[in-house]
Amino acid sequence: MNLFITLEGPDGGGKSSQAEGLAEYLRAENIEVLLTREPGGSPIGDQIRNVIMELENTDMDARTEFLLFSASRAQHIAEVIRPNLENGLTVISDRFFDSSLAYQGYGQRLPLDTLKAITNFATSGLTPDLTLLLDLPVEEGLRRREADGNWNRMDAYDIDFHRRVRRGYLNLAAETPERWVILNAEQSFAALQDEIRHAVMARLKPEPTDTDK
């Protein structure tokens, strides 16, 4: 069985390095993996990402931002995610549509129902099998971002914006709890990686239940 796994959460939770660690671990378990990320993930998607992330684009309307993320995602799915899932690979994406719902929906306060409808169109209904939420307090996330020099246009939004994003993620997780695993991203890299591996292996190779015996 192959899975479509996404990593989500506020900035600075270490998603990218955790995703790499997970991919490495699964490959060592002889599971074929494709690791990808949003925004971007395909050559056309990367060009759209550059427009979104450019620090000089301070006049970007929130709707434009949402539609660009969605456009990039549609391409990412068509070119990368769907073909690899169909070929039997487990696909790990560092961010996916929940980022748009959290940042543009809760953060920018665009209407969630409309965003969900557009998302459904952009993704043609593709939903992750498992979403790992790397949750941490906003101040800690932003402190880490500044420390590692990865500051981008999104990070420059005010602290209340980032608080709404975090709360948004927790609300989204509560709406479909069977898809989400919430993890504390304040713990050490190794401890968090361990929890991620366990959560993924529990889905990939579920323990036999009594009725299977």
Piece of 93-101, 166-174, 183-191, 198-206 that binds ligand TYD (CB under 6 A): 93-101
Among 6, 36, 93, 100, binds ligand TYD (CB under 6 A): 100
CB of 95 to ligand TYD, least distance (A): 4
* CB-based contact 101:44 (threshold 8 Å): no
Spell out, one character per residue from 103 to 122, where the chain touches ligand TYD: x when CB under 6 A holds, - when not.
Answer: xx------------------
CA angle at 5 for the pair 4 and 10, rounded to the nearest 5°? 145
Q: Does 69 bind ligand TYD (CB under 6 A)?
A: yes
Kindly state the tokens that stand for 21.
Answer: 């660690």
Q: Which three-class secondary structure state does DSSP give residue 131?
A: strand
Measured CA to CA, the distance from residue 138 to residue 11 in angstroms comes to 8
Which lies closer to ligand TYD via its Cβ, residue 90 or residue 104?
Answer: 104
C-alpha dihedral (116, 120, 121, 122), degrees to nearest 10 = 90
The residue type of 48 is I
Spell out, one character per residue from 141 to 180, where the chain touches ligand TYD: x when CB under 6 A holds, - when not.
Answer: ---------x-x-xx-------------------------
